[in-house]
Amino acid sequence: MSSSNREFIYRRLHSLLGVIPVGGFLIIHLSVNWFATRGVEEYNRAAAFMEALPFRYVLEALFIFLPLIFHAVYGLYIAFQARNNTSNFSYFRNWMFRLQRITGVLVLIFVTWHVWETRVAAAFGAEVNFNMMEEIVANPAALIAYIIGITATTFHFANGLWSFAITWGITVSPKSQRIATFVTMGIFAALTFVGIRSILAFVGV
């Protein structure tokens, strides 16, 4: 009987991986970015520390790229299975459902571009440091893309935490789900502040 519960496992895995490790990595990444607000030296030291972590490629593959790719590919499949109906059912949670799918697609595009410009460039010899980011966001279009990308990412993560809590049966009562909405939107606001404040540091704001 248990051999046919593949979809259940995939869906639960998709939910889990979005938080652990992908969400965890997002928090670490945003924390490292914050060093940019403390100046070039501090940022470069933090970036160098991350780059010098032992077993970096194994860690990156196991805790970032593989879970991220699974979450993204399966997430796309989930997103395109929905027939959005916010026009007839314009409830708050239905909008959040829709936004979760829209931001999911945005984040996938953003992250692909971001990895291309930083990690892939690094693989071809570019150095990942303050200067690299400074040059990227010197282009106003890129800066706007980063701001949109960061906001979509923090929203997708925070709102994803809300549904994670339901998917695993943590928040069952309507009251706990309502409070989880406030908590996760607080997390969204806080992480968005951290993300945008950091990216602005690269344009000297």
Q: Is 156 annotated as a binding residue?
A: yes
d(CA 129, CA 127): 6
d(CA 159, CA 94): 12
Give the count of residues interacting with another protein (CB under 8 A): 36
Are the C-beta atoms of 82 and 71 separated by less than 8 Å?
Answer: no
Query: Using omega within 30 degrees of 0 as the cis cutoff, is the peptide bond preceding 67 cis?
Result: no
Burial of 54 (0-12, 13-18, 19+ CB in 10 A): exposed
Query: Which of 91-99, 103-111, 140-148, 190-198 is the region at the interface with another protein (rule: CB under 8 A)?
Result: 91-99
- For the segment 94-153, give every residue that binds another protein (CB under 8 A): 94, 97-98, 100
Is residue 38 part of the contact set for another protein (CB under 8 A)? no
Is residue 81 part of the contact set for another protein (CB under 8 A)? yes
Are the C-beta atoms of 198 and 36 separated by less than 8 Å?
Answer: yes
Is residue 58 part of the contact set for another protein (CB under 8 A)? no
Residue number, 57 or 90, with CB nearest to another protein: 90
Positions in the binding site for another protein (CB under 8 A) = 1-2, 4-5, 7-8, 11-12, 78, 80-85, 87-89, 91, 93-94, 97-98, 100, 162-163, 166-174, 177
- Residue numbers in the known binding site are 29, 71, 114, 156
